[in-house]
Chains A and B, each alone.
Chain A
Amino acid sequence: MNTSLSTQDKKYVPMWLLAELTYACPLQCPYCSNPLQLPTSRKQELSTEQWISVMQQARQLGAVQIGFSGGEPLVRPDLEVLVEEATRLGFYCNLITSAVGLTSKRLRKLGDIGLNHIQISFQGSDRETNARFGGTDSFDHKMAMTKEAIALGIPLGLNFVLHRHNIHQVEPFLLLAEELGAEFVELANTQYYAWALHNRDQLMPSQAQLDEARAATERFRARHTGHMRTIFVAPDYFDDRPKKCSNGWGTTFITVTPEGDVLPCQSAKVIDGLTFPNVREGNLHDIWRQSDLFQRFRGTKWMQEPCASCPEKEIDLGGCRCQAYLLTGDAYATDPVCSLSPDHQLVRDALRKIEPDDGEARPLLFRNTINARALAKEDS
């Protein structure tokens, strides 16, 4: 009797649909991974009917997990309609939210229609830090909504995005999550794309800070007697091998942006010279299987040296294409996080720029309309 736990399907199936319902967000986090350009209006966002069609097409392709994300997905008044339809289609529904815009009524409704999991993000472990980095005074509301979701029996995880100004709060945050009764805690170090890349030198923690945060997580795990699971995601700049892009470009994940563009990962639009198919013009099946975008970096055939002849190429698939492009200007390059990359020095230099907090050389740029406009001007 063969009891292997899983089967390897050779045919790629987009098991995860990330539905970015809107880029609008009441928060202003300076490490946001959304594009630097903020849409001037929300008129171009997909309609309820268009999203339902996207979900139906994704289900036919084999997608089973759906993440409703943004921006802040609660900004969409039709979120409940979409969650209800997703559940009916057989999706396992995850809501990825800041909880700003969530009410007892909406939460109850979401629970009633079958939301399977809610992830609430915190920007700090106390009111002041949370308000400083989220740009909104939302700590008490997040706490209240977290408690209510748990009371309603909706599986709940907390997400804490770490950077040099809050990474020392790992321990108090874990204690807070434990007290609240969260099932999961994701301690996610900032990954450096979009707004986070712009603010990188002001956000990157030092090696000592990172080591202490890891140690604090380990101390908590050793002491914790309940069932709360903790995941610590380190910033890849400190590794000597890159992370696999979205489990492999065009293998597992499919992202649909608020305006209907279809991407292999949330960040892919940063790569110039690619054409992004849109659900208004094509169906997901053809986009996933046949579009140039999804085939471009699928597998290993696209690789150049040193990746092409590397014995580890199947392990990390050359790393992240967006990071390769953002740091080297060449989307086909080895991710510079890799110590074998000829551009690895770029990552080492970025880490060298970290200085103690004795007055910042440049202030953090928060994600809001004014700053987005200023950035657009700088570019032109």
Chain B
Amino acid sequence: MSEETQAFTINPRYRLQWEPAQNCHVLLYPEGLVQLSPTATEILQHCTQPISEQGLVATLQDKYPDADTLPQDVHEFLQQARAREWIKPAAETSGEAQ
């Protein structure tokens, strides 16, 4: 399966949460957190259920038809998110204890 079609979700160890005092979403994980930009938040909100890069781009492109560089931007973001283990392949996460 190619990277574009493989389904992934947010790492089940991590938690996406809105923080009014910080006026942003945060991604929480053992002993750490990251404050997310609105764009990063929007992408990750679509990853709470298994989704592929293709599916994600299609969904976002529907909402932002004029964003020309969207596929590339999403691709770059997902690469970073994968490297930081914010997202994981859905197959790998489904069997883990929650």
Contact = CB atoms under 8 A, between A and B. Distances in A.
Given A1-B70, A5-B80, A65-B32, A90 B24 contact: no
B24 A117 contact: no
Contacts of A1: 39, 64, 67, 69-70, 73-74
B31 A119 contact: yes
A9 to B, nearest CB: 6
B30 A2 contact: no
Given A6-B35, A6-B37, A184 B30 contact: yes
B37 to A, nearest CB: 5
A64 B19 contact: yes
Nearest to A6: B35
Contacts of B31: 65, 67, 94, 117, 119, 157, 184
A57 to B, nearest CB: 11
A9 B23 contact: yes
Given A117-B30, A157-B30, A183-B30, A7 B21 contact: no
A interface bracket (residues with beta carbon within 8 Å of B) = 20 to 34
Interface in A1-25: 1-7, 9, 13, 15
Contacts, number: 86
B37 A4 contact: yes
Main secondary structure of the interface of A (DSSP, over half): loop
B36 interface: yes
B36 A7 contact: yes
B39 A64 contact: no
Interface string B36-53: 110110010000000000
A60 interface: yes
Contact of A155 (B30, B33, B40, B69): B30
Contact of B33 (A2, A61, A64, A153): A64
Contacts of A232: none
A152 to B, nearest CB: 7
Interface in A203-251: 227
B1 interface: no
B87 to A, nearest CB: 13
Interface residues of B, number: 36
A347 to B, nearest CB: 28
Contacts of A276: none
Interface string A67-109: 1000000000000000000000010101000000000000000
A94 B98 CA distance: 16
A295 interface: no
A306 B31 CA distance: 34
A250 to B, nearest CB: 16
Contacts of A116: 15, 28, 30
Contacts of A2: 37, 39
A62 interface: yes
Contact of B76 (A3, A62, A155): A3
B39 A4 contact: yes
B33 to A, nearest CB: 6
A294 B19 CA distance: 23
Contacts of B85: 227
A67 B33 CA distance: 13
Contacts of B32: 65
Contact of B26 (A3, A64, A183): A64
A117 B14 CA distance: 11
Nearest to A157: B30
Contacts of A184: 30-31
Interface in B66-87: 67, 69-70, 73-74, 76-77, 80, 85
A67 B13 CA distance: 17
B22 interface: yes
A153 B96 CA distance: 8
Nearest to B23: A9
Interface in A34-76: 60-62, 64-65, 67
26 contacts: A1-B69, A1-B73, A3-B40, A3-B43, A3-B73, A3-B77, A4-B39, A4-B40, A5-B80, A6-B36, A7-B36, A9-B22, A9-B23, A13-B22, A15-B22, A15-B33, A62-B19, A62-B21, A62-B22, A65-B31, A67-B31, A92-B15, A117-B31, A153-B98, A155-B13, A155-B30
